[in-house]
Structure 1
Amino acid sequence: MKQTARDLRHRVARLFYLSALAAGVAASAGPALAQTPEKLELRYQGWASKVLYPELAEDLGYLAPIKLKWVGNTISGPQDIQAAVTGDVDFGGAFNGSIVKLVAAHAPVKAVISYVGTDKETNGGLFVLQGSPIHSARDLIGRKVGVNTPGAYEQYLVTAYLEKAGLSKEEIQKVVFVAAPPVNLAQLLRQKQLDAVFLEDIIKDKLLADGGATLLTTDYQLFGSFGYASYLFTDRFIAQNPNTVRKFVDGTARAIEWAKNTPRAEVVARLKKIVETRHRNEDTSIVNYWKSAGVGGKGGLIDANDFTTYIDWYVKNGVLKPEQVKPENIYSNQFNPFNQSVAAH
């Protein structure tokens, strides 16, 4: 019995020695080995006629060795992030207000990088046809307004426009929001099936260029420059694949900065090439209307206000209870390579 106990102690001591040796070898291998992505393929959903920043990052070589696997297109941010929760895709992106709702429903997710925003050059707008009797917010009472997803960003912006114009809650409830794919909204407006539509970034600019529409307001006019949509992963995915998430955020952040600092003509040419070579039967002309990166924080860094704005809105409208959701539980900049440089200032 004593012999067995002694042997056991020797085996345990040897295991500790081997573990320490292995740790030393791993440490001497440097950060490259420690940062090796655990998962080399990320499933995702695209958007028709748009190039997402992760797609641009892959084309620029910023994601290597990770590759993206397109599993189809989505027309809805809420659907996209729900697909991430259920595991149908590895990451999803949506309006920050939709992410707030998801976290409020106890979904174990974390937003890691902002990828859509508004600035002076790139913004979304509310349109009516030229000659329409709608000239102001009050004229929208009882009218049909087209948005891509009920209860998401576009409805939030239209509602904010109505509130700023002094409409009561009862009057705002008389505005009828109709959901349709973003690429179809302009057509439905021209066919007079909708009285007004909210269109984002390059789709908005294409409608303006085509003529026949009048712009009532833009999100930039209402709130200035800010980020309003983020990519997220589930907590479980992040725990199991931290290096993959870090590489994804790093590559996407670098792609955002590349778009900000590269001549517009070069960016448009690159985006057009990406759309043409992926063969998804898309309208390649839309990318010609790209103007700017349209992302608030450097490299997609998330600001707390990107979420508190919608938390406050939902609390005000009774969707959430006070303190039900806190921004620090929704997002993290820990994987963004630009985080430390910002913190150092």
Structure 2
Amino acid sequence: MISATRRRFLALSALAVASTTVACGTASGGGAEAKTLRYQGWAGQVTLPELAEDLGFLGDVKLEWVGDTISGPQDIQSAATGQIDFGGAFNGAVVKLAGAGAPIKSVISYYGSDAYAFNGFYVLADSPVRSARDLIGKKVGMNTLGAHSEAILDIYLQRNGLGPAETSQVERLVVPPVNTEQSLRQRQLDVVVLGGILRDKALANGGIRPLFTDYDLLGAFNAGTYVMTKRLLKSNPATVRTFVTGVARAIEWSKTTPAAEVVDRMTAIVKKRNRNENADALKYWKSFGVAAPGGAIAEKDLSIWVDWLRARGELKQDVHITDIYTNEFNGLPAGK
């Protein structure tokens, strides 16, 4: 059965292909460059653009929050159709949407996996699940389908000898990130994907153990990028450069600043934006996981997912990876 999230993803992908023009957004109009960029946030979390703005790294460019997103694929769909001005997702989802004809380009990496920031597949401490083969017939909860977590799961199963027929018997279910830990503890799911502050909070509560992590599987890698439409890049190059370079500075600030200070800053951001959120989980933050200086994008960051998408039958067109990302607006890696 296809989830509602995935149905929406497919429908909006088709819409992006069918549209001959992208809806004009705040930063997409003609004349002088717009200085406001619309975006979606995450409840209880602080995104890199939000951190960059609070640190004063965005200069005269302002962010306009229009609501919270439910997943990376939904976020970039909204960017592709002009509902917001930038969105971020797992790079495999970016490749899929661009391969379907959406007029988007990745402009900066914003999350990844390292020794501190990674996504793990967790089970209860007393769970009988201890290997890939034990997952056959089990329920695995993740925030969305067709994105980072499902890609990592498929790679793990394949590398451990499971064929397509066996892999299809591992049930993947969508569960909101804030409900993931509870769903596991109530035994509604056999395995759940936890990352970042939600992972560390769950581990601090005890009673769970990792089956495997994406860092164990692939090592350190940049996993997701922010995308914008090509139209926006063309009509607002100075605004985009300010935004991308500001986010790049925020990435480096987070790497060189003590974690406790970063946590204090992000907690203050959540409190003053008045969105009726719980900021408790922020105290577990350790890293955004972006390995490349300033979030610069490498071709391999996106190309690694092409084979996975083709194996799933979700990428039938030829995709030129170099056409769907750019570092030209990022002034930090070049020392500008």
On whether the aligned pair clears a TM of 0.5, the verdict is yes
Letter of the 1:251 counterpart: G
- Deviation readout 1:10-51 (Å, 9 max, x if unpaired): xxxxxxxxxxxxxxxxxxxxxxxxxxx811111100011111
Tell whether the 8 Å contact from 2:254 to 2:287 is kept in structure 1 after alignment: yes
- Deviation readout 1:153-174 (Å, 9 max, x if unpaired): 0111111111111111110000
- Could you say what secondary structure the match of 2:59 adopts? coil
* Structure-1 residue corresponding to 2:177: 182
- Could you say what secondary structure the match of 2:334 adopts? helix
* Structure-1 residue corresponding to 2:321: 327
- Deviation readout 1:252-282 (Å, 9 max, x if unpaired): 0000000000111111111111111112222
* Structure-1 residue corresponding to 2:211: 216
Whether 1:99 aligns to 2:94 is: yes
Q: Distance in 1 between the 2:131 and 2:146 partners? A: 22
2:41 pairs with one of 31, 39, 46: 46
Matches of residues 274-293 of structure 1 in structure 2 within 5 Å? 274-293=269-288
Where in structure 2 are there 5+ consecutive unaligned residues? 1-31
* Structure-2 residue corresponding to 1:227: 222
* Structure-2 residue corresponding to 1:34: none
Q: Distance in 2 between the 1:316 and 1:338 partners? A: 36
Tell whether the 8 Å contact from 2:248 to 2:294 is kept in structure 1 after alignment: yes
* Structure-1 residue corresponding to 2:63: 68
- Deviation readout 1:66-90 (Å, 9 max, x if unpaired): 1111111012111111111121111
Letter of the 1:272 counterpart: T
* Structure-1 residue corresponding to 2:332: 338
Letter of the 1:280 counterpart: R
- Could you say what secondary structure the match of 2:269 adopts? helix
Q: Distance in 1 between the 2:153 and 2:203 partners? A: 18
Q: Distance in 1 between the 2:129 and 2:199 partners? A: 18
Q: How many residues align?
A: 305
Letter of the 1:311 counterpart: V
* Structure-1 residue corresponding to 2:197: 202
Q: Distance in 2 between the 1:303 and 1:200 partners? A: 23
Letter of the 1:260 counterpart: K
* Structure-2 residue corresponding to 1:18: none
- Deviation readout 1:88-115 (Å, 9 max, x if unpaired): 1111111111110111110000000000
Matches of residues 94-243 of structure 1 in structure 2 within 5 Å? 94-243=89-238
Tell whether the 8 Å contact from 2:249 to 2:332 is kept in structure 1 after alignment: no
Q: Distance in 1 between the 2:201 and 2:324 partners? A: 34
Q: Distance in 2 between the 1:292 and 1:95 partners? A: 17
Q: Distance in 1 between the 2:81 and 2:201 partners? A: 35
Letter of the 1:66 counterpart: V
* Structure-2 residue corresponding to 1:272: 267
Q: Give the deviation of 1:214 after TM superposition.
A: 1.2
1:85 pairs with one of 67, 72, 80: 80
Whether 1:299 aligns to 2:294 is: yes
- Could you say what secondary structure the match of 1:288 adopts? helix
- Could you say what secondary structure the match of 1:116 adopts? strand
Q: Highest CA radius of gyration, 1 or 2?
A: 1
Letter of the 2:320 counterpart: K
* Structure-1 residue corresponding to 2:14: none
Q: Give the deviation of 1:122 after TM superposition.
A: 1.2
Q: Give the deviation of 1:219 after TM superposition.
A: 0.8
Q: Distance in 1 between the 2:335 and 2:55 partners? A: 23
* Structure-2 residue corresponding to 1:252: 247
Q: Distance in 2 between the 1:85 and 1:293 partners? A: 24
Tell whether the 8 Å contact from 2:52 to 2:247 is kept in structure 1 after alignment: yes
* Structure-2 residue corresponding to 1:315: 310
Letter of the 1:136 counterpart: S
Q: Distance in 2 between the 1:249 and 1:275 partners? A: 22
Q: Give the deviation of 1:320 after TM superposition.
A: 2.1
Q: Distance in 2 between the 1:199 and 1:327 partners? A: 29
Q: Distance in 2 between the 1:157 and 1:280 partners? A: 32
- Deviation readout 1:214-273 (Å, 9 max, x if unpaired): 111111100011111100100111111111110110100000000000111111111111
Percent of residue pairs identical:
52
Q: Distance in 1 between the 2:203 and 2:243 partners? A: 34
Q: Distance in 2 between the 1:239 and 1:300 partners? A: 21
Q: Give the deviation of 1:341 after TM superposition.
A: 4.7
Report the TM-score when normalising by structure 2.
Answer: 0.88
Q: Give the deviation of 1:202 after TM superposition.
A: 1.6
